[in-house]
Amino acid sequence: MRRRRREAVDNLNLSFLDAISCGFGAVILLLVITMLFEPESIQTTRKEAEALIASLQQQLADIQARTLSLASQLAGPRGDKQQTIAELQAELTRIRGQYKPTKAPVPDTAEEGELKAARQRLTEEMRRMLVDYRPPAKDTTVGGIPVDSEYIIFVIDTSGSMYQGPWQLVLRKISETLAVYPKLRGIQVMNDEGKYMFPSYAGKWMPDTPGVRKNIISRLANWNPYSDSSPVEGIVEAINSFYEPGRKISIYIYGDDFPQGQVEAVARYVDRINTAGKDGQRLVRIHAVGFPTQFAGGQDRNGTRFANLMRALCERNDGSFVALTTL
């Protein structure tokens, strides 16, 4: 009786051990199968994670760029309430000026109209520099414009009609302009596209020395960069790069042609760039000299458009326009 119970127990123990062994075997088999495909799965997951990180980084860069752009648009170089008020006041002044009769008639001849006087008070610095200056004659102006600026910028049309036409006259007029300024704090020369005559001084003032003046005239004799005969780019570059509060700056435009664009649209655009301060004065003065090459070549429409544009720009920006009648 006892022997039979012991054999039953032994059989039961063997069956349990068989089941446990089979279970462990199945687990080991599953682990082997899983480990067989695990490297590929890990590699795939890593690539997906790297792609996701790159995408998120790109999205972050885009968001940062948009944030900077919006902040720049909202702030601007002088984007505060005072600037907004000044711009509105300047626009009001310009609109009122359109309905005021002009005080001086348009010059009919070169003798009557060689750059009429542009009233601008001398700064204390200019008064100090002019103490010992004695002009060679009573006339201390460029055709009527007094020596009233500490900095001047020439914006010159270098298109074919100018370079192949009255270029020697352009050199002479620029020499006369420089000669009437006994001492300046800075000079710059660019064409109507905003291309600098001396690239090493791009965005910087050239010092006023006899050597610099001589180099300007010498370089100008053979200076012929591309030009589309529109002075807008040169004006914008001059104002944006060189204006600083307290500086007395005059821009001199030399040209003959305005082939495309609306005169009023360009004048309004320059108004927004060359805003007026609280005293009603523009950031810089704009003067212009027109050469009659288009009339001699039968393109009087373009010449008339240029004259109308220069007259509007000079009138709105405290300057004077001279239309030469002969070459």
Same domain, 55 and 98: no
Same domain, 122 and 155: yes
The one-letter amino acid at 312: A
pTM for the model stands at 0.56
**pLDDT value of position 28:** 73
Same domain, 208 and 277: yes
Cα separation of 299 and 183, whole Å? 39
In the numeric block, which tokens belong to residue 10?
């032994």
Element (H, E) at 72: helix 2-75
Within a domain: 149 = yes
Q: What is the mean pLDDT, run by run of 10 residues, along the chain of 327 residues?
A: 51 62 71 59 68 79 75 58 63 56 44 42 57 51 63 93 87 89 92 94 94 94 88 90 89 87 86 83 88 72 85 89 80
Report the relative pairing of strands 285-290 and 186-191 from DSSP bridges: unpaired
**pLDDT value of position 242:** 93
Same domain, 12 and 56: yes
**pLDDT value of position 151:** 94
**pLDDT value of position 116:** 40
Within a domain: 205 = yes
Same domain, 277 and 304: yes
* Number of other CB atoms surrounding residue 221 within 10 Å: 10
Same domain, 32 and 178: no
Query: What is the CATH number for 186?
Result: 3.40.50.410
DSSP codes, 214-278: HHHHHHHTT------S--HHHHHHHHHHH--TT--EEEEEEE----SS-HHHHHHHHHHHS-B-T
Strand, coil or helix: what is 130? coil
Same domain, 97 and 69: no
**pLDDT value of position 206:** 96
Same domain, 32 and 108: no
Asked which of 40, 74, 108 is the last residue of a domain, the reply is 74
Dihedral sign computed on CA atoms, order 193, 198, 200, 201: negative
**Domain range for residue 14?**
1-74
Give how many domains the chain has, as a whole number: 2
Same domain, 219 and 157: yes
Same domain, 95 and 179: yes
Within a domain: 81 = no
Within a domain: 318 = yes
Within a domain: 170 = yes
Element (H, E) at 146: strand 145-146
**pLDDT value of position 262:** 84
**pLDDT value of position 32:** 64
- Could you tell me which of 238, 218, 224, 229 has the C-alpha nearest to residue 291? 229
Same domain, 38 and 93: no
**pLDDT value of position 10:** 54
Within a domain: 80 = no
Same domain, 109 and 246: yes
